[in-house]
Chains A and B, each alone.
Chain A
Amino acid sequence: MSQDILENSVTSQPSSGDKNFKPFEASAEIEALADERIAHYPVSKLSAVLPLLHIVQHHFGFISKESITWVAEKLEIEKIKVLSVVTFYPAFRQSAPGKFHYRVCRTLSCAMAGSHELMDKICEITNIDRSKLSHHHPIVVSPCGNYSVEFAECLASCGSAPACLVNDDFHDNVGPEKAQALIDQYSV
């Protein structure tokens, strides 16, 4: 039998953020959420790949090998099709982020307003060393596992730059001087 396609392709790695999430489990609740989404796409179940991955990431923090297998079986498609989507889209992560994931806008108007300085300040406060990041692992998690950071490309709030997402909460006009407040707001 040939080797499982996911064996060497999924780049999940242990993270200090693992403590924030329970391991993937296709509970009745998750199955029901998935079935509801699948029903939106009667012509092709494949269309439900992104919605299902969003459900997984929302509940379990990141996309694991087990969850890719579940999505593939649920949609009756090959695992490689799910994996090719996971590896393409920047929103899908393969390792656990912090409990609070900061996505700071990197692009022009925010950069002009000081978003890079905001990022530096957040890293300084949360003890995050961004020199460790790589193309395949754009997220860095703090040693305590509570915080993680990532640069986002244009968050479409250029008129009130700099902008930042913390999990699903949006913040604008957050200059570097507001970094401490932005962290305190999400104390663990």
Chain B
Amino acid sequence: MSDIKYLPGKEPHPSEHRLIFKNIDREGWDTSIDTYIADGGYEQLKKAITMEPSAITNEVKASGLRGRGGAGFPTGVKWGFIPPNNTKPVYLICNADESEPGTFKDRYILHQDPHQLIEGMVISAFAVGAKVAFIYIREEFPEAALTIERAIEEARAKSLVGKDILGSGFDLEIWVHRGAAAYICGEETGLIESLEGKRPYPRIKPPYFPAALGLYMAPTIVNNVESLCHVKHIIEMGGAEYAKLGVERNTGTRILCVSGDVKNPGYYEVQVGKVTMGELLNDICGGPKDGRSFKAVIPGGSSSKILRCEEVFKIGKGEDAKDLAFWDIQMDFDTLAACGTMAGSGGVIVLDDSRKMSWVLNNINHFYAHESCGQCTPCREGNGWMKKISDRIVNGLAAPEDIQTLEDVAYQIDGKTICAFGEASSWPVEAIISKFRDELTAETSEDNQRLSKEQLQREAYLTK
């Protein structure tokens, strides 16, 4: 590893542990299969196809790998959900619809290291018994779609994809399927509907768990780009060895994408849980911009609940209970969950003291109002309402009770929709209001009472 050189100014931070991003910004690196093979590429595929498929799944289970797309569900366990007596074809889908605001890790894998993804996918497809795999890539990555298609053709020419891979008798076709700029296609059942050529209205679970009833009603495994890349490294290291990276139940490495108000925003691949919020923001990212101080952080994509920098969290139960300051939060799934938020997709958005929370909230509300698929009434209507109310706040037209109304609407979306979009869109509102209520209320005015005099008189009469 030590002989790897990176482009000037793009060198990894010393705290990083690069597996997935080993080749990102690497000097002399390109997307061709020759470069990849010269670097030891596709050796893990050669090893994997001599293994029993169930043994690969067991290695992934032993590795403790948790999905890197947002939910953090154990990948090996997900694979195990394919019904054992299944007679239908099995599909593998790579979710490359990266669109959670704040997340920008898959972009670099897709653009700079396509063969790592393909190798991970072929191994995964072999493990789950899929003969057809799709890469669902967002429409806004047109160049990456071409890069991946070119890479698949290169791999096909070397018998690494297609019929009878490396003479093993295993067949796998991989097709690239481009989305069309809809955030909801990142939700796995919405993605499947989209791949079937329909509007991406998510399906209800149960019964439509993709591992049993997915694409064309056949068992389907949907995994994030980064998760599939990890499979290659799990085969290389062995599940048990991989599990030594990171901390208990939060194993391996993950890419943290830091954006917003820090000196050095960017992508940092670290061992899960081995870096604290303070180390990430102050050491790795160089601290706040000159003359500024940190105010709040959205730790796992815009749908995760915001954390204030002066917060202290009570974590653990009974005798193990302890206080944890914001700066000491370990960046792993369980610690962030214990702090009432989530690690999500690894998109860390940093806000400094120059940011008005009403403006941040409004920007987020516009996103979710635009992206709601419209299938469930609470989400379709509620997100529109939340956008309108926060529009009023930023324009100085809100009355104090609007804050309460906004909060009420959020809680009426949360938990009342088919897919997790309801939570994704209402959690930021709930958290920003509960943590910055005074700041938001200060922007409202009694003068903005929305009812006319006549309406108020009528209201008073009716409630007398």
- Interface size for B (C-beta < 8 A) is 54
Q: Chain A nearest CB: distance from B140 CB in Å?
A: 5
Q: Are B182 and A85 in contact (CB under 8 A)?
A: no
CB-based contact A154/B99 at 8 Å = yes
Q: B138, B179, B181: which has the most chain A beta carbons within 10 Å?
A: B181
**Residue in B99, B266, B302 whose beta carbon sits within 8 Å of that of A108 in the complex:** B302
A48 on interface, CB distance cutoff 8 Å: yes
Is B139 an interface residue when CB atoms closer than 8 A count as contact? yes
Which A residues touch B177, using CB under 8 A? 40, 47, 50-51
**Which of B142, B177, B180, B367 has the most A CB atoms < 10 Å from its CB?**
B180
Asked if B317 CB lies within 8 Å of chain A CBs, one says no
In the complex, the answer to whether A153 meets B99 with C-beta atoms within 8 Å is yes
B358 contacts the other chain (Cβ, under 8 Å)?
A: no
Q: Is B98 an interface residue (CB 8 A)?
A: yes
A-B pairs with CB below 8 Å: how many? 138
User: Is B180 touching A158 in the complex (CB atoms < 8 A)?
Assistant: no
Q: Flag whether B355 is at the interface (Cβ < 8 A).
A: yes
Q: Which of B173, B197, B298 contacts A85 (CB 8 A)?
A: B197
**CB <8 Å contact, A170 and B197:** no
Contact A108 B140 (CB under 8 A): no
Question: How far does the alpha carbon of A106 sit from the alpha carbon of B363 in the complex, in Å?
Answer: 8
* Interface status of B72 (Cβ within 8 A of chain A): no
A184 CB, nearest partner CB in chain B, Å: 22
CB atoms of B99 and A156 under 8 A apart: yes
Interface string of A64-78 (1 = CB under 8 A from B): 000000000001000
Q: Is the CB of B23 closer than 8 A to any CB of chain A? A: no
Min distance, Cβ B336 to any Cβ of chain A, angstroms: 19
Docked-complex contact A158 and B367, CB < 8 angstroms: no
A107 within 8 A of B: yes
Tell me whether A156 and B98 are in contact (CB under 8 A): yes
A53, A85, A92: the one within 8 Å of B198 (CB): A85
Q: A84's closest neighbor in chain B, by CB?
A: B199
Given the complex, which residues of A lie within 8 Å of B181, measured CB to CB? 89-91, 152-153
Q: Mark B128-158, 1 if CB is under 8 A from A, else 0.
A: 0000000000111111000000000000000
For A161, the closest partner residue in chain B by CB is B259
Interface stretch, picked from B43-51, B101-109, B414-422, is B101-109
| Residues 117-171 of A contacting B (Cβ, < 8 Å) | 152-161, 165, 168, 170
In the complex, whether B307 has a CB less than 8 A from a CB of chain A is no
**Contact (A108, B364) CB under 8 Å given A153-B183, A156-B99, A160-B265:** yes
Binary contact readout B192-216 vs A (1 if CB under 8 angstroms, 0 otherwise): 0011111110000000000000001
Q: Closest residue of chain B to A155, judged by CB?
A: B140
Q: Which of A103, A112, A153 contacts B260 (CB 8 A)?
A: A112
Assembly CA distance A71 to B101 (angstroms)? 33
CB B213 to nearest CB in A, in angstroms, measures 14
In angstroms, Cα B104 to Cα A153, docked, is: 13
B347 at the interface (CB under 8 A from A): yes
Which B residues are in CB contact (< 8 Å) with A158?
A: 101-104, 257, 259-260, 265, 347, 349
Report chain A residues within 8 Å CB of B100.
154
In the complex, whether A10 has a CB less than 8 A from a CB of chain B is: no
The answer to whether B216 touches A44, judged by C-beta atoms less than 8 angstroms apart, is yes
User: Quick check: is A46 within 8 A (CB to CB) of the other chain?
Assistant: yes
Interface residues of B in 316-372 (CB under 8 A from A): 347, 349, 351, 355, 360, 363-364, 366-367, 370-371
Using a CB-CB cutoff of 8 Å, which residues 56-85 of chain B contact chain A? none
A25 to chain B, nearest CB (A): 23
B436 within 8 A of partner (CB)? no
B363 engages A44 (CB within 8 Å): no
Q: A88-B182, A152-B140, A153-B183 are in contact. Are A107 and B367 (CB under 8 A)?
A: yes
Q: Which residues of A contact B265 (CB under 8 A)?
A: 109, 158-161
Q: A170 vs B138: C-alpha distance in the bound complex, in angstroms? A: 14
B95–chain A nearest beta-carbon distance, Å: 13
The answer to the question of B389 belonging to the interface, with a C-beta cut-off of 8 Å to chain A, is: no
CB distance from A7 to the nearest CB of B (A): 21
Q: Are B104 and A108 in contact (CB under 8 A)?
A: no
In the bound assembly, the distance between CA atoms of A55 and B138 in angstroms comes to 15
| Chain A residue at smallest Cβ distance from B217 | A43
A54 at the interface (CB under 8 A from B): yes
Q: Is B258 an interface residue (CB 8 A)?
A: yes
Using known A-B contacts A85-B199, A108-B363, determine if residue A50 contacts B194 with beta carbons closer than 8 Å: yes
Report which of A84, A109, A156 forms a contact with B138, defined as CB distance below 8 A. A156
B242 within 8 A of A: no
CB <8 Å contact, A108 and B103: no
Q: How far is the CB of B94 from chain A (nearest CB, A)?
A: 15
Closest chain-B Cβ to A85's Cβ sits at a distance in Å of: 6
Query: Measured between alpha carbons, how far is A129 from B413 in the docked complex, in Å?
Result: 36
Given contacts A47-B195, A89-B182, A112-B260, contact A157 B107 (CB under 8 A): yes
Question: Whole-angstrom distance between the alpha carbons of A156 and B101 in the complex?
Answer: 7
Chain B CB within 10 Å — which of A81, A153, A158 has the most? A158
CB distance from B296 to the nearest CB of A (A): 12
B175 interface residue per 8 A CB criterion: yes
A44-B197, A111-B363 given; A50·B103 CB < 8 A: no
A107 touches B363 (CB 8 A): yes
Central interface residue in B173, B260, B360, by most chain A CB within 10 Å: B260
Name 22 A/B residue pairs within 8 A (Cβ), A-sorted.
A44-B216, A47-B196, A50-B179, A51-B177, A53-B180, A81-B198, A85-B198, A88-B373, A89-B180, A91-B181, A91-B182, A108-B360, A109-B259, A153-B370, A154-B102, A156-B103, A158-B101, A158-B103, A158-B257, A160-B266, A161-B259, A168-B142
Complex A-B, nearest 9 residue pairs according to Cβ-Cβ distance, in ascending order: A89-B180, A158-B259, A46-B197, A91-B181, A91-B180, A49-B197, A109-B259, A168-B142, A90-B181
Beyond A49-B198, A92-B180: 8 further Cβ-contacts under 8 Å? Answer: A47-B196, A89-B180, A90-B180, A90-B370, A106-B366, A112-B355, A156-B104, A165-B140
